[in-house]
Amino acid sequence: MCCHKSKAQLRNGSSKVGCRPCHSRCQPKRTVQQDNIMEKGNTEVVPQHFNNWPNSQGFESWDEQREPIELTVKGVIPSWASGTLYRTGPGGRTIETDKGTTFKLSHWFDGFSQVHRFQIIPQGTPDGVSRVVYNSRHTVDKFVENIRKTGSLNDFSFAQKRDPCQSLFKKFMSYFNSSTDANIGVTVSTNFPGLPPISNDERSNESKPHHASGIQTLTAKTDSARLKRLDPETLEPVGVTDQRCLHPDLSGPFSAAHAKSDPETGDVFNYNLSIGRTSVYRVFHVSAATGETTILATVSDAPAAYLHSLSLTRNFVILCVWNSHYAMGGAKVLWERNILDGISAFDASKPAKWYVIDRHHGQGVVASFESDPFFCFHTINAWEEEAPPAYAEQTEHTDIVVDMSVYENLDVLKRFYYENILSDSPAAAKFVGSKGDSARAQLRRYRLPGIPAPAALPFQAPDLSSSSGHPKQAKIDFTAPRSSSGELPTLNPKYLTRPNRYIYVVTDSGEQSVFMDGLGKYDTLTGELTRWCEHGQNPGEAIFIPAPSGKNEDEDNGVLLSVVLDGHRGKSYLLCLNARDMTELGRAEIDMVVGFGFHGTFF
């Protein structure tokens, strides 16, 4: 294992020593072309893995464990980290069909959905160790069986190409397919407000009628308005609905996979995007207390775009329409029946648009901004700060700070075709090293200055633009170098909507592996990256579990849980790291491959 720190570019633009390499075992030894052509004798060519860092098993896993089993724990997973971790994302991608053909998905975002459940059960004292019980299942059995019988995919997808011969109306209506096996599995939420609990008729025979854990519902989400309900114990699909069940005006087909939740109330915030001659974003709020949904604002002067997430502060929702615009106002998505082919080419002449929306006083959009163009999957955190001296004469104004993981263009969307991320694929060469820099994320902090303070909102008209009549300009506080950045960013959940110092990421050096190659802790104050990596180990998103109150209130006092594939052994494990220094505390070994998933949640 290697755990090291590196000094990155600081906020003022100065820099210190660059990212120090990991242990020599983690370093690339060969090019992709060299690794993929190894002769055995003089006749047979045997595929090899780039840098002897295998990952291909993680993209083709049909393993599942429907009955809960206890895992072998090595080291220590603290008992205070007890709870339930759910993970969701793709499992397999290849189906042998009844037509005698082989059906293969082409993009990672379209992999057949699977959900995993890890129960971390304390033993003895609060400072003791934990047991780990695991179960999993694919959630698209009928969906897969239909492909097996027909040899084709008829549902919408992210990037799979199909025959676009159906009428536009039929395509639109099929987007709201009510099948319980719709391929929905990018994010997962427990106790999503506004949705009914699972009835006894819907509950599987194996599921208990009451959940001692407090988890009553489990909901899978994606970048559409559809929501898939799952049994939180057996993980069996219960049904598919859409956002119209929350509010009848949420009739558009698109939304963010990452709805934002208020860390204190549990209220949920998201947008619904309808397309047509005029595209309309409806930003809405679902009350955890009442289940009622309120539309906070409508935005109709921004282009329809693929927006995977949005931001939330204690008083505002921030909708950023970055530069992943749908062609033809979104109609091309319906025509192509996939999102990627429906997105226009990146246009560097068009600014990103930002909308600040009041949460509490019914004021709608209270400010708008523009910034240089960029693309983003994941917002990280946002909070409010007192306006600087420039706004001293405007005492009732505040700044909003937004952290994101950003890209300079849309190259990353095509990078995630399977052929570009499999360790034994020659095509991955085009993203190795500096050639793939545009498809690697950078951590960035934006500032939206001079927002009307919450106390002033009910008593004055919204200040939508600058005095010139044009949107204000969003400012950049800092951008971290790629060597100190990463994807799938997380933080201590106690700091959501509050200023935070540390961001945890999955690193992608572009040198050690053709995919994710480590876990990192980025210090936004010093620009320092502390990294965990181990040769041939392929980690997923790291979920932060805070230490109990009273132990130590430091922001980084807790543990990280990440599902890791050991590419050499062809087996996965649940890794537990000390979130302070990124050293391993323990692991729970799984006697199978857990596919490379996207996101998880801990309850």
Q: Using DSSP bridges, classify how beta strands 83-90 and 2-7 pair: parallel, antiparallel or unpaired.
A: unpaired
Q: What are phi and psi of 543, to 5 degrees?
A: -95, 125
Q: Give pLDDT, residue 124.
A: 75
Structure confidence at residue 47 (pLDDT): 63
Total residues belonging to the chain: 603
**Cα–Cα distance for residue pair 103/46, rounded to 1 Å:** 24
The reply to whether 258 sits in an annotated binding site is yes
User: Can you give the three-state secondary structure of 468-483, one letter per residue?
Assistant: CCCCEECEEEEECCHH
Residue 378 marked as a ligand binder: yes
Sheet holding 375-386, edge to edge: 375-386, 397-407, 442-452, 475-479
Q: Measure Cα distances from 40 to 24, 43, 44, 47 in Å.
A: 27, 7, 5, 10
Half-sphere exposure of 412 (CA within 13 A, CB side): 23
Closest by CA to 119, choosing from 85, 87, 77, 164, is: 85
The residues, ordered by sequence, that sit 6+ positions from 272 with a Cβ below 8 Å of its Cβ are 225, 243, 249, 250, 251, 252, 254, 255, 281, 282, 284
Residue 308 annotated as binding site: yes
Which token pair is 146?
């239909």
Task: Write out residues in the chain with pLDDT < 50, as ranges.
Answer: 6-25, 27-43, 166-178, 210, 391-392, 459, 461, 466-467
Is 603 in contact with 84 (CB distance < 8 Å)? Answer: yes
Is residue 129 a contact partner of residue 71, using CB atoms and an 8 Å limit? no
The count of other CB atoms within 10 Å of the CB of residue 61 is 24
At which residue do the structure tokens 């996979």 appear? 257
- Beta-carbon contacts of 427 under 8 Å, excluding residues fewer than 6 positions away, are 419, 420
Alpha carbons 551 and 443: distance in angstroms, whole number: 30
> In the beta sheet, which residues pair with residue 600?
87
DSSP-assigned letter for residue 345: P
Q: What is the DSSP string of 379-395?
A: EEEEEEEE--GGGTT-T
Query: Residue 361 is encoded by which pair of tokens?
Result: 């006083």
Residue 6, sorted as left (phi over 0), alpha (psi -120 to 50) or beta, turns out to be beta
Taking only the tens place, the pLDDT of each residue in 556-574 is: 999 999 999 999 999 999 9
Q: What is the pLDDT of residues 339-382, one digit of tens each?
A: 999 999 999 999 999 999 999 999 999 999 999 999 999 999 99
Residue 570: the pLDDT is: 96
Residue 360 assigned ligand-binding role: no
Other CB atoms within a 10 A radius of the CB of residue 48 amount to 17
